[in-house]
């Protein structure tokens, strides 16, 4: 396919490179001027979109997505797929999809899970909202960039799935870190803690696959001084999106609300910015009961 890729940062760059390595003709643009291996650099979003079968965006916010969409939708050929892999608010995702559909395009919102490592390794999970025809056309690209793509429903459903998933992840990571901090103060060996919990009812992805304790379980950012695989400020962004959505539909999310407040304190007032979201463990270990 001829693919336009807009947003070649930590996530978008490796995703675009994987598509190019698989033999697709990829033209990429990033306003910061960064490039990706095998991707032909162009000088504007419109240039990346012109003549493309699929245009993929990986952008930092709903406002920027709307701005880029306004630029590229008029440049795209009818029948092309506008595939947005950003994590943004549901309202922006649906507004952009409406504009794309009105212009004769297919529109998909397909945020990802798996972090920078998943982007580089082609093992991302895509949560996809939008029309069936667009999903079918994009499926071979999902198979290159990731290990799983789930069609969640109409436009906005992908974003809804992402924020619900990450609300669970944020809350469970805090609970996992709290449990390790408590275990330490009770004199329980961390390895023994892991061996019990990872095979018992406390099993979770945060414990079993991404353990926040260094030297315990599979290798994770905890073993690399908490250099981010998924940065704490990105978790805060997703938890904020979840709370905005909850407020919009009048959903009661007390754990999600608490998780957002804890990550906000960590990122905005402590040393969490630029660290992995699992660095909540040393934060909690250093604190006393308030």
User: Among 180, 184, 128, 135, which residue's Cα sits nearest to residue 155?
Assistant: 128
Identify the helix (H) or strand (E) that includes residue 170: helix 157-185
Report helix angle 254-269 to 157-185, nearest 10.
70
Find the Cα–Cα–Cα–Cα dihedral 145, 9, 13, 4, rounded to 10°: 90
Residue identified by tokens 């559909």 is 101
Which pair of tokens denotes residue 230? 């998924």
- Active-site hit among 2, 139, 148, 162: 162
Whether 108 and 134 have beta carbons less than 8 Å apart is answered as: yes
162 is catalytic: yes
Other Cβ atoms closer than 10 A to 38: 16
Give the C-alpha separation, 36 to 12, whole Å: 9
Question: Active-site positions?
Answer: 162
């Amino acid at each position: 396919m001829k693919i336009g890729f807009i947003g070649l940062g930590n996530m978008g760059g490796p995703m675009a490179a994987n598509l190019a390595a698989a033999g697709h003709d990829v033209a990429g643009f990033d306003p910061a001027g960064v490039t990706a291996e095998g991707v032909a650099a162009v000088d504007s979003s419109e240039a990346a979109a012109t003549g493309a079968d699929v245009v993929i965006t990986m952008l930092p916010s709903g406002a920027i997505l709307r701005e880029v969409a306004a630029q590229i939708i008029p440049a795209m050929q009818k029948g092309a797929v506008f595939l947005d892999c950003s994590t943004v608010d549901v309202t922006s995702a649906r507004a952009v999809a409406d504009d794309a559909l009105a212009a004769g395009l297919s529109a998909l919102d397909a945020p990802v899970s798996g972090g920078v490592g998943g982007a580089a390794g082609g093992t991302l999970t895509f949560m996809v909202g939008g029309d069936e025809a667009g999903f079918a056309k994009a499926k071979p690209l999902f198979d290159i960039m990731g290990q799983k793509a789930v069609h969640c429903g109409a436009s906005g459903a992908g974003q809804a799935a992402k924020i619900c998933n990450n609300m669970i992840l944020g809350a469970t990571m805090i609970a996992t870190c709290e449990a390790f901090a408590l275990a330490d103060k009770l004199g329980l060996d961390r390895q023994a803690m892991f061996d019990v919990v990872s095979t018992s009812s406390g099993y979770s992805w945060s414990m079993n696959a991404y353990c926040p304790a260094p030297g315990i379980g599979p290798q994770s950012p905890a073993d690399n001084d908490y250099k981010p695989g998924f940065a704490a400020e990105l978790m805060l962004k997703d938890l904020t999106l979840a709370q905005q959505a909850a407020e919009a539909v009048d959903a009661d999310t007390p754990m999600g609300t608490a998780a957002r407040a804890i990550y906000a304190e960590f990122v905005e007032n402590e040393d969490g910015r630029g660290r992995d979201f699992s660095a909540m463990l040393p934060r909690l270990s250093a604190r006393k009961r308030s």
